[in-house]
Amino acid sequence: MTMFPERLRALRRGQSLTLDQLAEELNQHFRPDAEHQNTAAQIGNWERGIRIPSYMEVRKLAEFFDVTMDYLAGKAERDEYDLSRLFLSGKMLTFNQQPLSSEDRYEVFQLINGYLHGKGRRIVPEPPLDHQESLDLHLDGRD
């Protein structure tokens, strides 16, 4: 049995969308002609495994939910991303709700790349056994 119905349902529910809302969102996002409009009944049939969507419908769903077609088909896990591909893609990226320019993306890519390449050459002293380390990222905006 394919994992497509379960993954589609989980993605839709994860965004708190009803079948009607998802159909409306797909129609607004992809603007199909009247003959190819998505409907709640159609999506419900996909989620129940009664009908199998076309390649183009799976592609639309993957793009809408920002997952791969392989993930929808059950061949890949969503939790694994190659950051290099993400940074070099044309997708809009943000950090703490701040958009990253192409220069920012390149610089962050270079920083990560340099860190990973130099990681094996660094000598890091072992912390004492009774020492507990914490990292404060100041994510609440306070300095």
Mean pLDDT of the chain: 83
Residue 139 located in a structural domain: no
- Write the pLDDT tens digit of every residue in 96-117: 888 988 888 888 888 888 888 8
What six digits make up the tokens of 57?
């419908």
- The full DSSP string for 32-82 is --GGG---HHHHHHHHTTSS---HHHHHHHHHHHT--HHHHHTSS-TT---
- Write the pLDDT tens digit of every residue in 67-107: 889 889 888 665 566 777 777 777 788 888 889 888 888 88
Residue 125 located in a structural domain: no
Rounded Cα gap, residues 46 and 119, in angstroms: 47
User: Same domain for 22 and 66?
Assistant: yes
Domain that holds residue 45: 4-73
Residue 124 located in a structural domain: no
pTM of the model: 0.55
pLDDT interval class at 53 (50, 70, 90): very high
User: Same domain for 58 and 94?
Assistant: no
